[in-house]
Amino acid sequence: MKRIFAAVSLAALAAGCSSADDTKIASVATGTEAGCTALTAASLGATQASGKWVAAAGELPAFCEVTAVLSPAEGSRIGVVYRLPAEWNGKVLGIGGGGWAGNVTLEAASEGISKGYATLQTDGGHTSTEVWDNSWTANPEAATDFSHRAIHEMTVAGKTLVQAFYEKPQERAYFQGCSTGGRMALMEAQRYPDDYDAIIAGAPVYTLQVQTSAVLRNNTFARANAGFSEADLKLAQDAALKSCDAADGATDGLINDPQQCRWDPAEIQCTGAKTATCLSPTQVTTLKTAYDGVRSSDGQWAMFPLTRGGEAGWSRYMSTEGKGTDPTRGGGLLGLKSLLFGSRAVDFDNFRPDVDVPQVRSSAFAAMYEAKDPNLSPFFERGGKLILWHGENDPGPSPVGTTDYALKVMDGNAAAANSMRYFLMPGVEHCRGGPGADQVGLLDALDAWVGSDKAPDRLIGTKADKSLTRPHCAWPNVAQFGGNGDANDPAGWQCVPRKS
């Protein structure tokens, strides 16, 4: 196996950098594994910078793992990890985080490394890996880093390191993320359009409406007698599927276009005492509120709608049992209280859509953190390509919110028709899981698009156990089964326009 390494000084990387032109790298060793391991903080004159060679194992090739700290501003500490495979495909892959954390794990990088990508990762500007912990936002620089600066600095420094490592620059630069990583992906396209040639943004937590939705959903289910057992949620899901599942031509436990499902939970309301086969009137009201969502008086979503047909997965992200306990602390919103509300007392148990939610959205933190700008013209005009996607059964960030954003991009950017594809994936929960076909070769699809300039109009998804195979159609189309043959054969499905 070819093993090349131009070991480099990471002093500039550890100090942070804003452009490749500002960074000068000096060679200290070349061509050996010893050159990789020579990258220590002492030898580089950097704080916490080192390199180690990792031998090939399983599906992973040998690679050099470089760890450093970037400090673009006083008080900023951006941890980065770069994994540079011995057999390189000429491309770099930036990887996003999840919750209120970055992600520097080898697991997250393994697909990219196995395919020959040099991978770029960051802790997002703080070391906590607790997805709901955001106490570190008390440091303004850490808040700025996580909001947008960490991914950008990681990217600029990573490209510089890659050029020194392989003695030539990357041919293409991609970014992939889901959830918080999806927000990071959109932020890159919006704020730093020159960083990446193509981007995958999945289930993006792109505004604090995701957090306000978490608080309001918890309160909705916490009303007297409004809680649901797992059996109650399954009862509602089964009834919704019975009403709407077959509309796509296949009865398979999936609703391909949930926005067209009009099932009314009043159909299973108890006429007397609550039993295992019906829901109480309060439960029915709660379901209707969950499906409809809640808007503030300005018309913005305060609580995103939840999807019919995905009820059995809701309890993974909200306190559906009605006890009012929420381990996510409103998706982290409660940890942002001082940033968003200052010293004002806020009753989160009675959170107000017309008072509290607008203050969240108008805060200085929201202006820095939210990736809601639909103007992607600078990214598209330089040839940038975007795959945006969301699972229809997601009980966290709502596919409704992502669709709202996607439509604004399509309406406001003439180049979007050729530069963006949006996919809704039936039955898929948050980033993965659920009854849908959640295993999709997104990175390969993006790479093929960049290489051929032919945008993907459908992606094939499977389950990990190969029990389900389905096509996912690019917006505005949805998959419809012809009714003949095996539903697991994508050839039996057509992409047809959605009903309005």
Confidence of residue 259 (pLDDT cuts 50, 70, 90): very high
The CA-CA-CA angle for residues 39, 40, 43, to 5°, reads 90
Q: How far apart are CA 285 and CA 226, in angstroms?
A: 8
Sheet holding 118-122, edge to edge: 50-54, 63-70, 78-85, 118-122, 91-95, 172-178, 198-202, 385-391, 420-425
**List of domains in the chain:** 6-207+369-497 (3.40.50.1820), 209-367 (no CATH)
Instruction: Provide CB contacts within 8 A for 82, sequence distance 6+.
Output: 65, 66, 67, 68, 118, 119, 120, 121, 158, 161, 162
pTM: 0.93
Mean pLDDT of the chain: 91
| Residue 163: per-residue pLDDT | 84
Tens-place pLDDT, residues 42-93:
433 335 768 889 999 999 999 999 999 999 999 999 999 999 998 899 999 9
Q: How far apart are CA 388 and CA 403, in angstroms?
A: 9
Instruction: Provide CB contacts within 8 A for 200, sequence distance 6+.
Output: 174, 175, 176, 177, 185, 386, 387, 389, 442, 443, 446
Residue 443: pLDDT over 70? yes
Q: How far apart are CA 401 and CA 207, in angstroms?
A: 9
Residues recorded for the chain: 500
Residue type, 72: P
| Residue 225: per-residue pLDDT | 78
Q: What percent of the chain has pLDDT over 70?
A: 90
Q: How far apart are CA 283 and CA 233, in angstroms?
A: 10
**CA nearest neighbour of 161 among 316, 343, 384, 7:** 7
Tens-place pLDDT, residues 394-432:
999 999 999 999 999 999 999 999 999 999 999 999 999
| Residue 35: per-residue pLDDT | 59
**Rg of the chain over CA atoms, in angstroms?**
24
Tens-place pLDDT, residues 142-157:
999 999 999 999 999 8
Q: What percent of the chain has pLDDT over 90?
A: 83
Q: Is 484 exposed, middle or buried (0-12, 13-18, 19+ CB in 10 A)?
A: exposed
> What DSSP string describes 255-275?
-S-GGG----GGGGB-SSS--
Q: How far apart are CA 234 and CA 229, in angstroms?
A: 9
| Residue 131: per-residue pLDDT | 93
| Residue 198: per-residue pLDDT | 98
> What DSSP string describes 341-401?
HTT----GGG--TTTHHHHHHTSHHHHHH-------HHHHHTT-EEEEEEETT-SSS-HHH
Tens-place pLDDT, residues 329-339:
999 999 999 99
Residue 33: pLDDT over 80? no
Confidence of residue 327 (pLDDT cuts 50, 70, 90): confident
Indicate the helix (H) or strand (E) that contains 336. Answer: none
Q: How far apart are CA 178 and CA 353, in angstroms?
A: 27
